[in-house]
Amino acid sequence: MTATLITDIGELTTNVGPEPLHDAAVLIEHGLITWVGQSADAPTPPGGFTEVDADGRAVIPGFVDSHSHIVFGGDRAAEFEARMAGEKYAAGGIRSTVAATRAATDEELRARMHGFVAEMLAQGTTTIEIKSGYGLDVQTEARLVRLAAEVTEEVTFLGAHVVPAEYADRGDEYVDLVIGDMLDACAPYAKWIDVFCETGAFTVAQSRRVLEAGIARGLRPRVHASQLGPGEGVQLAIELGAASVDHGTYLTDADVAELAASDTVLTLLPGVEFSTRHPYPDARRLIDAGVTVALACDTNPGSSFTSSMPFCIALAVREMGMTSAEAVRAATAGGAAALRRTDIGVIAPGMRADLVLLNAPSIVHLAYRPGVPLVSKVWKDGVAVR
């Protein structure tokens, strides 16, 4: 693989210090970043190399989208349309996607998943976490984690997404299945265990059983909590050492204080508030309290059918009180922290060469020019994929 030298970068967000570099250059060799500094001091790599002139534009780390559900069948456009006309979002909508997912072939699910991965890459996302959770029976959940593992190492088993229709009013029995045969079938393909701890999904006691069983099998915990109302899911996540607790739309002051004192990341998913008309969480309150925040798309057919990190950044800046720098950091280094990854999310020697060249002089344009495709070039492991 030949080296790539990106020169004349007007604004380079490295996530190393608080400020970006200007007039910068980055050298990529063998899939890794090997040098970062002033353009004028850029080394000439031995052998052939490709030079890319950024022409004064901005470069950032590739986005790390630490929360998605992109293996599913069907869509829920009619549900979205009804919501825009005043209907409320409820967790139960998940069941209609379960029916469509069970009916889909592996080929159909795989083709769809690859389509989402491609559209995410085109928007600058170089690392994706993918959850199961639209199968909710042993065979289909195993298909979903197996398919997800074809495109990412960040696979999450979410058999406890909602209680399926055939277990209505038998939630505890369904949890027995999740932590029994379903976990047996899914654990070999997954790195993470997740549960939707919320009214209409799983209680704190049920969530604890799911997470503890997953941990005992070597999976690492992450939790969906406080999306639709306040609850005890955040505290459970922290107690069990979860890498991340996701949503956090309704956090109590105690939740915020406990998050700040923990190393659990709070992953904000503003596409959900956009699509469900719930209030946007106050990211300013979290950051000022010292909570580590990540920003992710939560791509799924129910609550957030966007795959665009730039769109989520625009929402975070416009609606959640984040600066552009905080939003980009949350969408890169924050996502890496939420996945406990130390090889991505930062532009520094030794890190994987996952980078995005924006067709803009500054990251401010991501929110300033919402909806405009500003991702000009993407490198994944040093390869120009776009």
Instruction: Answer yes or no whether residue 93 interacts with ligand NIG by CB under 6 A.
Output: yes
Residue with the closest Cβ to ligand NIG?
302
Residue whose C-alpha is closest to residue 376's, from 129, 28, 35, 10: 10
**Which range of residues in 33-41, 89-97, 203-211, 361-369 is near ligand NIG by CB under 6 A?**
89-97
CA distances to 51, 58, 61, 365, 380 from 11, rounded to whole Å, are 17, 5, 12, 12, 20
Q: Is 298 in the site for Fe ion (CB under 5 A)?
A: yes
CA proximity to 57, closest of 6, 19, 18, 127: 6
As a 3-state breakdown, the chain gives helix, strand, coil percent values, each rounded to 5, of: 40, 25, 40
- Give the phi and the psi of residue 209 in degrees, each rounded to 5: -60, -45
Give the sheet arrangement for strand 3-9, strand by strand: 32-38, 24-29, 3-9, 49-53
Interface region with ligand NIG, contact rule CB under 6 A, candidates 27-35, 167-175, 297-305, 306-314: 297-305
Q: Which stretch binds ligand NIG (CB under 6 A): 34-42, 47-55, 91-99, 118-126?
A: 91-99
- How many Å apart are CA 345 and CA 329, to the nearest integer? 8
Minimum distance from CB of 201 to ligand NIG (Å)?
7
Nearest residue to 156 (alpha-carbon basis) of 102, 63, 223: 223
Residue nearest to Fe ion (CB): 298
Distances (CA, A) of 271 to 42, 70, 268: 40, 14, 9
Would you give the DSSP letter of residue 88? P
Q: Please, which residue, 156 or 227, has the CB nearer to ligand NIG?
A: 227
| Contact criterion met (CB below 8 Å) for 304 and 279 | no
Of residues 143 and 222, the one with the C-beta less far from Fe ion: 222
Question: Binds 227, which of ligand NIG, Fe ion, none (CB < 5 to 8 A, cut-off by type)?
Answer: ligand NIG
Q: Does 300 bind ligand NIG (CB under 6 A)?
A: yes
Residue closer to Fe ion, measured from CB, 54 or 91: 91
270 binds, among ligand NIG, Fe ion, none (CB under 5 to 8 A by kind): none
Closest CA to 292 of 255, 319, 330: 330
Question: Which two tokens mark 344?
Answer: 């991505």
- Residue 94 binds which entry of Fe ion, ligand NIG, none, CB below 5-8 Å type-dependent: ligand NIG
List the single partner that 196 binds among ligand NIG, Fe ion, none, CB under 5 to 8 Å by kind. Answer: ligand NIG
Q: Which is nearer to Fe ion, 135 or 382 (CB)?
A: 135
The secondary structure of residue 37, as a DSSP letter, is E
Calpha distance 2→108 (Å, rounded): 36
The partner in contact with residue 126, picked from ligand NIG, Fe ion, none with C-beta cut-offs of 5 to 8 angstroms by kind, is none
CB of 302 to ligand NIG, least distance (A): 2
Cα atoms found within 13 Å of the Cα of residue 131, Cβ hemisphere only: 26
Q: Which does 341 bind (CB under 5 to 8 A by kind): Fe ion, ligand NIG, none?
A: none
Q: Would you count residue 298 as binding ligand NIG (CB under 6 A)? A: yes
Question: What part of residues 16-75 is at the interface with ligand NIG (CB under 6 A)?
Answer: none
The residue from 13, 14, 15, 97 that contacts ligand NIG (CB under 6 A) is: 97
| Residue 122 C-beta: closest distance to Fe ion, Å | 22
Q: Which is nearer to ligand NIG, 66 or 97 (CB)?
A: 97
Contact region with ligand NIG (CB under 6 A), list: 141-149, 257-265, 289-297, 298-306 = 298-306
Instruction: Name the residue type at position 126.
Output: T
Instruction: Give Dmax over CA atoms of the chain in angstroms.
Output: 67
Q: List the one residue from 128, 272, 356, 358 that touches ligand NIG (CB under 6 A).
A: 272
For residue 275, give the nearest of 44, 89, 43, 48 by alpha carbon. Answer: 89
Residue 303 found at the interface with ligand NIG (CB under 6 A): yes
Among 196, 202, 250, 311, binds ligand NIG (CB under 6 A): 196
Which residues does 211 contact at the CB level (< 8 Å), separation at least 6?
193, 195, 221, 223, 236, 240, 242
Residue 224 lies near ligand NIG (rule: CB under 6 A)? yes
Name the site residues for Fe ion (rule: CB under 5 A). 298
Name the site residues for ligand NIG (rule: CB under 6 A). 93-94, 97, 196, 224, 227, 272, 298, 300-303
